[in-house]
Each structure stands twice: as C-alpha cells, then as structure tokens.
C-alpha cells in the first residue's frame, strides 16, 4: 500500500501543476473523442463523475449529453457507499463529500437502477465514465484510496466502463489487487487503450 500512496501523491502533484489552459484543452480533446465513440452514442444512461481539482473536466460533457437526450447520473457518497442519481442540469448539483459537487438527493432524485442483464452480460445502453489518479497500459488503476468504484462495480458490473485521464497520469506499472476493477477502455488526450 505504501507504493500506491507514493504514486498517488506524485501523480496528484503533477496534475495540480497543470495550467488551466492545459486542463481545458486536454479535457476538450478527451471529451470530443469520447462523444464520437459508439459506446457513448449507443448509451441511453450515462454514469459520470463531476470533475474536481484538475480532473478531466466533465461539466461541459454533462450539459451536452443532457441536450442530446441522455439520462445523466452522478455519484453521491453516503455512509461510505457510492450511488448514482439522475440530474436534469448542473443546477441539480450541490457541494457534497469533500466539497465535490453531487446531485441533491433530497428532492426525490431518481437513483440509477440497472435493468435486467442481457445475454451478452452487458447493458449496452449504459455507460460509466470513471475517474482515477493513475493508470497503466493494462488499464490497472489507482483511485483516491477509498475503493468506491471497486465496490460499486463489484455489484453493478453489467455496463461498459470508460476511464478518462490525462496522459501524465499513465505510469509504467500498477500492482493490481484481486478486488481492483479495470475499465473496459482508457481514454487520454493522445490515445485509447483497450
């Protein structure tokens, strides 16, 4: 665990050093590629994080996706567990866990409930956009250390998962553990890793 802590600190420091222009430019490149993908175009329901502290910016993506008729669900952390709730616009978000914007769950917001799994074991109409601190070429991931996505995906696994990050967040090797969940695809401003 010591190594993961060191990597997390190093990558977060690199990401924090990015200029606003870099974050916006690279985020736009990533989101543009994402919205061109079949996985996005076929998706009806999209589970997506709200960006925080120099993560790939998702707020513009959320607005565009809603305008295109997608159902957008964002994460809420409560009692050490993560669930996703539907939002209709960015005004449905408020400051929550660690100051991260979350859906206002008090207003009868709709919680994401997967439909029955289909034969291929995938909900082809559901897409998850996953954040992370660091990744490697095998799509192994280091998150923020709380295991929310690993636990959520352990019980909600029947949809396509695309992780998005900046190229500076890709490192040579991550020692994965049995409970760690890999995305189906990793997308940066420079490449797609399947």
Distance (Å, rounded) from C-alpha 134 to C-alpha 49?
A: 16
Please give the torsion angle defined by the CA atoms of residues 11, 84, 190 and 36, in that order, rounded to the nearest 10 degrees. -170
3-class SS of residue 130: strand
Q: What's the structural domain count of the chain? A: 1
Q: Is the pLDDT of residue 160 over 50?
A: yes
pLDDT, the chain, mean: 91
Give the per-residue pLDDT at 145. Answer: 87
pLDDT top residue among 26 and 108? 26
pLDDT of residue 48: 98
Q: What is the largest CA-CA distance in the chain?
A: 46
Average pLDDT over residues 144-148: 90
Query: How many angstroms from the chain centroid is the CA of residue 114?
Result: 17
How high is the pLDDT of residue 156? 82
Give residue 53's region: left, alpha or beta (phi > 0; psi -120 to 50). Answer: left
The domain containing residue 175 runs over which residues? 2-193
Domain of 146, CATH number, reads 3.40.50.10420
Sheet holding 81-87, edge to edge: 81-87, 71-78, 45-48, 123-130, 159-164, 185-187, 192-193
Q: What is the pLDDT of residue 118?
A: 46
Residue 5 has pLDDT above 80, yes or no: yes
Report helix angle 59-67 to 20-36, nearest 10.
30
Total count of residues recorded for the chain:
194
Question: If you average pLDDT over residues 12-23, what whole number do you get?
Answer: 98
Dist. CA 98–CA 128, nearest whole Å: 22
User: What tokens were used for 29?
Assistant: 């490149």
φ/ψ of residue 50, rounded to 5: -100, 125
DSSP H or E stretch at residue 23: helix 20-36
pLDDT digits (tens, 9 = 90+) for 74-111: 999 988 899 999 999 999 999 988 889 999 876 567 88
Check whether 162 has a pLDDT greater than 90.
Answer: yes
> What is the pTM for the complete model shown?
0.91
Give residue for tokens 């998005």: 164
Give the Cα separation of 168 and 12 in Å (integer): 10
| Structure tokens belonging to residue 90 | 């960015």
Average pLDDT over residues 49-56: 97
120 pLDDT band, cuts 50/70/90, is: very low
Coil/strand/helix, residue 55: coil
Task: Tell me the pLDDT band of 119, cut-offs 50, 70 and 90.
Answer: very low
Under 8 Å between Cβ of 141 and 174? yes
Overall average pLDDT of the 153-164 stretch: 89
């Amino acid at each position: 665990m010591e190594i993961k802590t060191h990597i997390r600190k190093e990558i977060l420091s690199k990401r924090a050093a990015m200029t606003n222009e870099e974050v916006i430019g690279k985020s736009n490149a990533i989101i543009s590629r994402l919205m061109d993908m079949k996985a996005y175009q076929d998706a009806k329901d999209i589970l997506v994080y709200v960006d925080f502290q120099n993560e790939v910016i998702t707020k513009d993506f959320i607005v565009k996706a809603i305008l295109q008729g997608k159902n957008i669900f964002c994460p809420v952390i409560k009692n050490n567990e993560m669930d996703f709730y539907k939002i209709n616009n960015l005004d449905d978000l408020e400051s929550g866990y660690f100051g991260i914007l979350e859906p206002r769950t008090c207003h009868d917001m709709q919680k994401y409930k997967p439909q029955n799994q289909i034969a291929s074991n995938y909900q082809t109409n559901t897409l998850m956009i996953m954040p992370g601190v660091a990744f490697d070429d095998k799509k192994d991931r280091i998150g923020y250390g709380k295991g929310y996505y690993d636990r959520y995906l352990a019980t909600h696994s029947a949809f396509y998962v695309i992780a998005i990050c900046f190229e500076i967040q890709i490192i040579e090797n991550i020692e994965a553990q049995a409970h760690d969940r890999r995305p189906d695809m990793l997308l940066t401003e420079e490449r797609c890793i399947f």
